[in-house]
Structures are given as C-alpha cells and as structure tokens.
C-alpha cells in the first residue's frame, strides 16, 4: 500500500511527493484503526489530502519501537550521533526551499517567514550535533577515601506535542536536543499542519538514524496526544501550545511522573522610548506583531510608546501606520507577500472576534480591522491605540495580526504596566541609551528581552517563559538539561596494602 500523494504548490505550479502514513520504525505505515483525517490549506480553504490518523494503538506501537531503539541508541558513541545530526541538517538544507513551500501551503505563512524558519531549523540541528560529545558530568571532592563523579544520562523515550504555527521549527526544537543526548522520540504534530513533519521523516531515514529513534504520528489531541501523556514508558514530554492546554498536559504527566517542559502563551510588551532609532524601531514593531501572521507565542502585541512629548507620540503612530500599510498581504506564493493567511478556521474566527470586541468597546482604531476577501483566512494588520491597560485586548493573547498601543510617561509606570500580565515569554526595548536598556531589561518579568530588535532568534540563545508562559528552555545549552538526568557515582577507595 502506498502512503504518498502528489501535491501542487499554487502560483508556482511546482509538484512534490507528500508522505501520508504514520512514520514508525523508519517506515510509513497505516493507522491500526484504518482512520484518516483531512488536511486543508488556509490559503483557499480547499482540501490537500487525507492522512493516516494515529490513535492510542499506534502510540503503543511507536513507543515500543522507540523503547527498543533506546536500548542501543543511548550507548551510541556521541560522535556518531553528531554525524547523523550533521547529515540530517545537510539533507534539510538540500530540501530547504521545498520544505519552506510545504510550510506555506499547509500553514498559510508567507514564504518570507517560512524561509526564515528553515534557516533556523538547519542551524539549530547543527548546533545540537555539536553538543553530542559535550554532555559532561563533574567530579566532586568529598574526602580522600572516595571518588565521586556525576554523569548526565538520557531519560529514555521522549514524547513531543507540537503546535501549528511553526510546524518544522518546533519539530526541530524537540528532536534536536533529545537525539543529541541519546533519547528516542515519539512526536505528535498538530493535526492542522503535519505535512512538513512527515516529509522530513524521509530525510531522517536517509540520514541513517536507526529505526525507532524518531517516530512521527499525526492524530487528534484526545486520541493520540493523551495516550502520549499517559504512557508509562515515556519519561519526558515536551509541549508547545496554549497555557490552558499546558495545564492539562502537566496534570496528565503527573500521573506517571514524567519530566515536563512547556512553552506556552504570551502577551509580550514591546517598548518604545523617544530616543530610539525611529525607522528601525518601526520595522522591529512590524516584525514583533505581524511576522508569521501574528501567530507567535512571544509576539510583541502590547506596544508601549513613550508619550512625554505628545507631538512625537502622534507622529510616531502615523509613521508606524504608513509603514504597516505598505505590507503586502495575500497568497504566500505571490511575490513580495509578507503576511499570509491565519493557519486555522478557528483561529481566524478568534482573531475576528477580538477585533469585533475592540470595536464594540469603542477602542481607537489606527488601521485595519477587517477580513480580506471571502476565501482563505486573511485578516488586515490591525492596530488599536490609546487602549486601557485593563481592556481584554491588552490582557488576553489574541494570536493574530492585532496590536494594542498604550502610551506611558515614566519608566516606573512602564515597568508596572509591562509586568501586569499572567504571561512572561518575550519583550522588547527600543532605545539608544544603554543605561535605559539595561535598567528596563533587568526589571521585565520575561524569559527573553530583545533590545533594538524583536523575534530575533539564534540557535545558541535559550528561549522560554516566566510565569504562566512555561517551564524549561528551548535552544542553547539550557535545552539539553531538559533531556538528561544526573547519576551520582561514589566509589570507596581502600588504602593499598603493599
């Protein structure tokens, strides 16, 4: 039975072969139940293909395959694990443009955004490859009669559940550190955007990873996701998604005492001081909220602008508006498009509902506020200004191309407002004064502070949240701690009898 279909990218009319089966033990296979589910594109709302739908039985098969593979993979020489990861990175780089196009087709994001993702994907895999032989322990000097040392060992089978906004990037953030430290993986991609994850499985096999080391099984959260959370052989779960679902993940994992990392929601402040470089700052504000259609957990959706000088504040808003109006919104495969379609019909409606709520509460609308066209999930870039701190658009995560602007006059007022959120994922500070930058950065309750930039990720810089935005870190050396456990060895030394 064939588990592949031919799909066509719009406008460029290029075709490619899309895997449609579950990837278990290095093979594409049918779901045990025989069930399938439909994948559509948010660009036109049309069906792309049917995929095999994993359930609890398939989770069991995948976990057993991963558990068996772990028995040898954990003792595989670090240098060999590194070579396989480097080979995988090379293969992803070879297929980079096709993978970017798959992301845009399935997710709706522009090719500009997809290509950015793929560049980081390649570099992060290589970064993980470089860490494989650097997972070190330490020696402990307790006394002259003992030798004490520690080892950082892999956990075992790691479960991963990834979101629909960055399908391949989140895939990489999960499997990279897991494989580098000697674990095996069972990963459930979001049902809305699984295509790139399945395509890249072909490259996992081509790179030479042993069967069972990586298993990818698309399915529903209830049937497939819960089975991953509850399985006793899965020793760690990495989840990226909403804070609400993250709480459920943590509760379910507690039943079998798993290690858990959560990268959750955000409502990040992006702060503008009057001494900033205006033109550059406006571009960073655009990147902060309209990159990836605004579907970014750390999006700079609360924009605080210094208004000590009312004239400067008004002029800045107008310049911001003019710059945003120049953005091209539409089919991701059209030349020059920056903002594509919202990824899912539910999220599309959520964004429109928040915009409606903003209008009904008489918020000042700087621009946008409407659906674009009548086919596909396209929304105008939308900015409300002079928004109250306690308004729901200020406090709640919208997860779309909608920003609120709030003026401030003193640093103390700003810090209080910026930290007035249950979230603490990202933040931005725009100023030419290094003293202001450091002072404010030190006082922001956020896992990341970007200064004079925004959404500026690097594979060696850790990313994760404070407060309700999560537990643990992705990328950087810190990510490796999530996938290892420490073993202490204490050896009694006898005095030689000579």
Q: What is the mean pLDDT of each run of 10 residues along the chain (498 residues)?
A: 94 98 98 98 98 98 98 98 98 98 98 98 98 97 97 98 98 98 98 98 98 98 96 98 96 97 98 98 98 98 98 98 98 98 98 98 98 97 98 98 98 97 98 98 98 98 98 97 97 91
pLDDT reported for residue 467: 98
Domains annotated on the chain, with CATH: 4-264+472-486 (3.40.605.10), 269-459 (3.40.309.10)
Nearest of 132, 200, 105, 113 to residue 162 by alpha carbon? 200
* pLDDT at residue 498, rounded to an integer: 83
Torsion of CA 274, 276, 279, 283, to 10 degrees: -110
pLDDT of residue 496: 87
**Residue among 208, 156, 160 at smallest CA distance from 186:** 160
Q: What is the pLDDT of residue 105?
A: 98
| Residues annotated as catalytic (active site), given as ranges | 263, 297
Distance from C-alpha of 170 to C-alpha of 474, rounded to nearest angstrom: 9
pLDDT at 453: 98
pLDDT value for 497: 86
Could you identify the residue written with the tokens 């072969």? Answer: 17
Largest CA distance in the chain: 91
Instruction: Specify the pLDDT at position 2.
Output: 85
């Amino acid at each position: 039975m064939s588990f592949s279909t031919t799909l066509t990218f719009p406008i460029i009319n290029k075709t490619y072969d899309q895997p449609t089966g579950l990837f278990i033990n290095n093979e594409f296979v049918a779901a045990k139940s025989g069930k399938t589910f439909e994948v559509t594109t948010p660009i036109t709302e049309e069906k792309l293909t049917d995929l095999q739908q994993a359930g609890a039985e398939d989770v069991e098969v995948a976990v057993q395959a991963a558990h068996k593979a772990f028995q040898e993979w954990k003792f595989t020489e670090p240098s060999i694990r590194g070579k396989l990861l480097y080979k995988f990175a090379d293969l992803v780089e070879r297929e980079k443009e096709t993978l970017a196009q798959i992301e845009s087709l399935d997710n709706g994001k522009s090719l500009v955004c997809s290509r950015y993702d793929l560049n980081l994907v390649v570099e992060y895999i290589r970064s993980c490859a470089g860490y494989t032989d650097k997972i070190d322990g330490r020696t402990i000097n307790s006394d002259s009669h003992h030798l004490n040392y520690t080892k950082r060992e892999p956990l075992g089978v790691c479960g991963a559940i990834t979101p629909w906004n960055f399908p391949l990037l989140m895939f990489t953030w999960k499997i990279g550190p897991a494989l580098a430290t000697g674990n095996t993986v069972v990963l459930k991609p979001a049902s809305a955007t699984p295509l790139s994850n399945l395509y890249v499985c072909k490259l996992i096999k081509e790179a030479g990873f042993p069967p069972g080391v990586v298993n990818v099984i698309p399915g529903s959260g209830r049937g497939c996701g819960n089975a991953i959370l509850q399985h006793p052989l899965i020793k760690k779960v990495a989840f990226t998604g909403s804070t609400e679902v993250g709480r459920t993940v943590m509760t379910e994992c507690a039943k079998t005492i798993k290690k858990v990392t959560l990268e959750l929601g955000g409502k990040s402040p992006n702060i503008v001081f009057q001494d900033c470089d205006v033109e550059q700052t406006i571009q960073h504000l655009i990147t902060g909220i309209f990159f990836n259609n605004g579907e970014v957990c750390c999006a700079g959706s609360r924009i605080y602008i210094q208004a000590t000088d009312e004239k400067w504040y008004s002029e800045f808003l107008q310049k911001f508006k003019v710059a945003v109006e120049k953005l091209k919104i539409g089919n991701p495969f059209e030349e020059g498009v920056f903002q594509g379609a919202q990824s899912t019909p539910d999220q599309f409606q959520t964004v429109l509902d928040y915009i409606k709520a903003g209008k009904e509460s008489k918020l000042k609308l700087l621009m946008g506020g409407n659906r674009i066209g009548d086919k596909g999930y396209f929304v105008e870039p939308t900015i409300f200004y002079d928004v109250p701190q306690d308004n729901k658009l200020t406090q709640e995560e919208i997860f779309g191309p909608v920003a609120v602007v709030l003026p401030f006059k003193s640093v103390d007022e700003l810090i209080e407002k910026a930290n007035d959120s249950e979230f603490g994922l990202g933040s931005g500070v725009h100023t030419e004064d290094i003293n202001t930058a450091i002072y404010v950065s030190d006082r922001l309750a956020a896992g990341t502070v970007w200064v004079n930039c925004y959404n500026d990720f690097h594979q060696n810089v850790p990313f994760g949240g404070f407060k309700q935005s999560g537990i643990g870190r992705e990328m950087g050396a810190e990510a490796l701690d999530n996938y290892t456990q420490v073993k202490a060895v204490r050896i009694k030394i006898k005095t030689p009898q000579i």
